Structure 1
Amino acid sequence: MDMQLLVNLTSKAWSLKILAQLHAGIPGRQAPLIGSTGASRSSFAASLDHLFHLGLLERNPGHGHPLRPEFRLTDKGKAVAAMASRIEEIVPDEEAFAVLRRSWTVPILAVTGTPSRFSSIKSGLGPVTDRALSKSLGVLEEREWLRRDIDLSQRTPFPIYLAVNAGLNINQAISAGVR
């Protein structure tokens, strides 16, 4: 998957959940989607608008009231929604899925399918700050979705990170998705 799209997609907390719910057949109206995602109205609206601007959703012509429009997935959105659905199947419980709503979690898991140094993860993600990346790596390590090893083969030892357990499954779900 295009990393820039993945970073943009996950910058809003409920984007993956909304796409997964639409892929599962939940009607593209606000009330059913809010009910199935558990999001607040304001954060849900921001995520829905974000998906619309990314070109993953479009208004369903001829359906819905002007003040309560109905949305449907675009062709690009269908492929991304299938990926979001695969991720949701891997992490079905809400407490664990809350970790996926954090901005950098999914992009980090996408680039750590092979052992990676901090600097290569950062360069693969683009605009992430050292602090945000470090904090996200720590959260993923606590969840045991990411393993941190120390490479002693060089003169200066350095940590390497690798997606494991559910983190590796999420990495594979992303890799199998949009290309």
Structure 2
Amino acid sequence: MNIAYLVKLTSKAWSLKILALLDSGTPARQAPLLAATEASRSSFTSSLTHLMELGLVEKNPGHGHPLRPEFRLTPEGIIAAAMASSIIEIVPKETDFSLIRRNWAVPILAVTQTPQRFSHIKTGLETITDRALSKSLSILEEQEWLKRDINLSHRAPFPTYHAVNKGLKINRAVNLHI
């Protein structure tokens, strides 16, 4: 799994939670999964459809009713689900998990294992806008998952960002599976 794929995976709010639930053995029908995520029906459906389009989750043939299918992880989904479970273990509280549901939090943490400049982070994430990156960096810094340092070694000082605390744990969990 590369960073571009991680960006696609985390682009839907409940994707990581659904993968982690399937990995943990939660009954793989829509109703139990929906109840366990505590997401709205439309957000949940959108995330589940997204996971199916990525080829991580599929309908389990021969199980369930056509209107209430049972789902299972694909071989690629098993790898992604292991990563998702690792992340969920790091941030079990809903207040922390709400930050993980943000589109860019996990990909930003994944590329900031070492101090990185704004432009390098942007290049690594390709499709992110300056505004989205700036806002995400600020939120992650407020949460103390990312540290901003000013590098004074050059003529013009510039900030660098690197993952710390829970952010570094998430970075390690993601990079273990990338």
1:113-132 aligned at under 5 Å gives the runs: 113-132=113-132
Residue 64 of structure 1 deviates from its aligned partner by 1.2
CA distance in structure 1 between the aligned counterparts of 2:87 and 2:34, rounded to whole angstroms: 19
Does residue 79 of the first structure (1) align with residue 84 of the second (2)? no
Does residue 32 of the first structure (1) align with residue 32 of the second (2)? yes
TM-score, L = length of structure 1: 0.98
2:56 is matched with which residue? Answer: 56
Residue 164 of structure 1 deviates from its aligned partner by 0.0
1:154-173 aligned at under 5 Å gives the runs: 154-173=154-173
CA distance in structure 2 between the aligned counterparts of 1:95 and 1:63, rounded to whole angstroms: 35
Does residue 44 of the first structure (1) align with residue 40 of the second (2)? no
CA distance in structure 2 between the aligned counterparts of 1:59 and 1:66, rounded to whole angstroms: 10
The one-character-per-residue Cα deviations of 1:116-160 (angstroms, maximum 9, x if unpaired) are 000000000010000000000000000000000000001110000
Task: List 4+ stretches of structure 1 deviating above 2 A.
Answer: none
Residue 79 of structure 1 deviates from its aligned partner by 0.4
2:4 is matched with which residue? Answer: 4
1:107-146 aligned at under 5 Å gives the runs: 107-146=107-146
Secondary structure at 2:52 match in 1: helix
TM-score, L = length of structure 2: 0.99
Secondary structure at 2:58 match in 1: strand
1:88 is matched with which residue? Answer: 88
Residue 4 of structure 1 deviates from its aligned partner by 1.1
CA distance in structure 2 between the aligned counterparts of 1:10 and 1:175, rounded to whole angstroms: 15
CA distance in structure 1 between the aligned counterparts of 2:103 and 2:68, rounded to whole angstroms: 28
Identity across the alignment (%): 66
The one-character-per-residue Cα deviations of 1:90-114 (angstroms, maximum 9, x if unpaired) are 0010110000000000000000001
Report how many aligned residue pairs link the two structures.
Answer: 178
| Aligned CA-pair RMSD | 0.6
